[in-house]
Amino acid sequence: MHVLTGGLVSDVDGTREADVAIENGEIVAVGDVPEGDDRTDVSGRVIAPGLIDTHVHVSMDGRPDVSTVFGDSPYTAGYRTVANLEAAVEAGVTTVRDLGSRETLALDAGAAVGDGVLDGPRVLGAGEAIVMTGGHGHPFGYEADGTDEVLKGAREQLKRGADVVKCMATGGVLTAGAVTGSPELTEEELRAAVSAASAKGVPTAAHAHGEEGIKNAVRAGISSVEHGTFMDREAAEMMADDGTYWVPTASALVNIVENGVEAGIPEEAVEKAKDAASRFERAWEHALDAGVDIAMGTDAGTPFNYFGDIPRELELMVDYGLEPDAALEAATVNAADLVGRDDLGRVAEGYRADLVVLETDPNTDATAWQSPTAVFADGERVD
């Protein structure tokens, strides 16, 4: 048994003085804890849950032009995935959800972490995202047209062991020729994917920038809208009424706009990102007014959006209007709920020992996550 002593504990239940005991990858006591074989003094510091990023692409490395990764060999993609996972866990990210990579790459990475072959966060994966023929993300997606093909595509991913079924409801920023907010998969096609996933008790996610695509996704029963950049008031109210999560991925837009064409990002992508960013603030206003449930996700791997920088997303969410404690909630218990894990996101007995030790209280300081002094992933300390 390993005991963290002398610090504060900070999670969605507030901030309080408590010691934490962990054993066999699990939190076994919080508060007054038994003597342990090993003790770590964290006096003056704060113990918090590890972050959960519900939207990443494990084989993409933040390069300016993402299209250049598609010609890489499977081996190169695998090596890049290893580096990304190491960077994420060292930054205090203890669970990631991959929403579209080539074939079974992310699912295999998740198995390798689980088996102890790789050091990294827990990896939950979608397999290949389901896209219309020639649609957004088609170079690494499963192209499907019509409800029968989408149904088969979803079932193919589930057969591979997918933890979530991902669909492209609209165009996007980084696929050449795609119109960012234009609907792609139809409501009926999205509903087919939901039916396949629901039969297995698996959540669904829809990439959706435009209002019509967001509404199609909500009506189809999708679990989470990813990006939601052009969300209007009606879409926000629909999401709140249906309990549809929003995963804003602020890091994706911010990093493209901040770096621009001068850094090597394709001009078309920069122009689309600038247009999207100008409407993103209104999406936040609508979501917060309506009370939409928010889960943290970054789209890590997109231009200048590095896995080691994932914790910055909480600061960005605060910049867009969340309070620090709400950002903490989005990155812990809300994210855990979205990915279907009731044993993640709290510092509490019976939860997995995914913990970070921080210098300041994340319930009041969203930047606290950016410099952890210690990380425990499933009970093992990350050095």
The answer to whether position 315 is within a domain reads no
- Output the domain CATH number for residue 68: 3.20.20.140
Same domain, 45 and 151: no
Helices then strands, counting H and E runs in the chain, come out as 11, 19
CA distances from 306 to 20, 37, 85, 128, 137 (A): 31, 37, 11, 21, 19
The answer to whether position 316 is within a domain reads no
Q: Give the pLDDT score at 175.
A: 79
The answer to whether position 184 is within a domain reads yes
338-367: average pLDDT: 98
Same domain, 355 and 282: no
Same domain, 152 and 93: yes
Q: How many CA atoms lie within 13 A of 224 on its CB side?
A: 31
CB-based burial, 99-114: b 16+ in 10 Å, e otherwise: bbbbebbbbbbbebbe
Average pLDDT, the chain: 95
| pLDDT tier for residue 179 given thresholds of 50, 70 and 90 | confident
In 302-383 the beta strands, taken as DSSP E runs, fall at 355-358, 374-377, 380-382
The answer to whether position 334 is within a domain reads no
The answer to whether position 331 is within a domain reads no
The answer to whether position 133 is within a domain reads yes
Q: Give the pLDDT score at 176.
A: 79
Same domain, 7 and 90: no
Alpha helices (H) along 161-299: 187-199, 211-220, 233-242, 250-259, 267-290
The answer to whether position 86 is within a domain reads yes
- Determine the straight-line distance between the first and last CA of the chain, rounded to whole angstroms: 18
Same domain, 363 and 274: no
Could you give the number of structural domains in the chain? 2
The answer to whether position 144 is within a domain reads yes
Which among 151, 139, 161, 227 is positioned nearest to 185, based on CA atoms? Answer: 151
- Output the domain CATH number for residue 26: 2.30.40.10
Q: Give the pLDDT score at 33.
A: 80
> Of 250, 285, 310, which residue constitutes the final position of a domain?
310
Same domain, 59 and 157: yes
Same domain, 29 and 80: no
Same domain, 117 and 102: yes
Partners of 16 in the beta sheet?
9
3-state secondary structure 89-143: HHCCEEEEEECCCCCCHHHHHHHHHHCCCCCCCEEEECCCCEECCCCCCHHHCEE
Q: Is the pLDDT of residue 352 over 80?
A: yes
Q: Give the pLDDT score at 134.
A: 95
Q: Give the pLDDT score at 37.
A: 76
Which among 180, 207, 174, 145 is positioned nearest to 302, based on CA atoms? Answer: 174
Do the Cβ atoms of 301 and 58 come closer than 8 Å?
A: yes
Q: Which residue reads 């994966």 in tokens?
A: 125
Q: Is the pLDDT of residue 23 over 90?
A: yes
Kindly give, in sequence order, each residue whose CB lies less than 8 Å from that of residue 383, ignoring residues fewer than 6 positions away.
none
Q: Which amino acid is at 267?
A: E
* Burial (0-12, 13-18, 19+ Cβ within 10 Å), 116: exposed
Q: Give the pLDDT score at 173.
A: 86
Q: Give the pLDDT score at 34.
A: 78
Q: Is the pLDDT of residue 55 over 90?
A: yes
The first and second tokens of residue 182, run together, are 């234009």
Q: Give the pLDDT score at 180.
A: 84
Task: Compute the distance between CA of residue 172 and CA of residue 181 in angstroms, rounded to an integer.
Answer: 7
Do the Cβ atoms of 247 and 205 come closer than 8 Å?
A: yes
Q: Give the pLDDT score at 177.
A: 81
Same domain, 84 and 8: no
* Burial (0-12, 13-18, 19+ Cβ within 10 Å), 292: buried
Tens of pLDDT, residue by residue over 299-313, are 999 999 999 999 999
Domain that holds residue 201: 51-310
Do the Cβ atoms of 378 and 64 come closer than 8 Å?
A: no
The first and second tokens of residue 323, run together, are 């309070």
